[in-house]
Amino acid sequence: MGKKVYVGNLSYDTSDAGLAELFGAHGNVVSARTIVDRDTGRSKGFAFVEMGTDEEAQSAISALNGMSLDGRQIKVNESVEKPRTNSRW
């Protein structure tokens, strides 16, 4: 399992700092980044949180998946890297 965690179904009001605080209860948060639309600057409703160790990431996933945050039931699971292709498009 990787240290990077995917967090989905976020409220548009959820901040990086709020995520870092929430996940901090389960270990060292290396980074917490909400993904935003380039054109509008508005959250896309998901984020990635990097935890210090695999064990901390697993603890956060177990504890936080399905909990309510900012009025939404969040989805928390292991982040899976997208395979890169050699094509230009």
User: Per CATH, is 4-78 categorized as 3.30.70.330?
Assistant: yes
- The per-residue pLDDT for 66 is 97
Alpha-helical segments (H) within 1-89: 16-24, 54-64
Give 86: exposed, middle or buried? Use CB within 10 Å, 0-12, 13-18, 19+: exposed
Identity of the residue numbered 87: S
pLDDT above 60: residue 36:
yes
pLDDT above 80: residue 84:
no
What residue spans define the domains of the chain?
Answer: 4-78
First-residue to last-residue Cα distance in the chain: 30
- The per-residue pLDDT for 1 is 46
- The per-residue pLDDT for 59 is 96
Give 89: exposed, middle or buried? Use CB within 10 Å, 0-12, 13-18, 19+: exposed
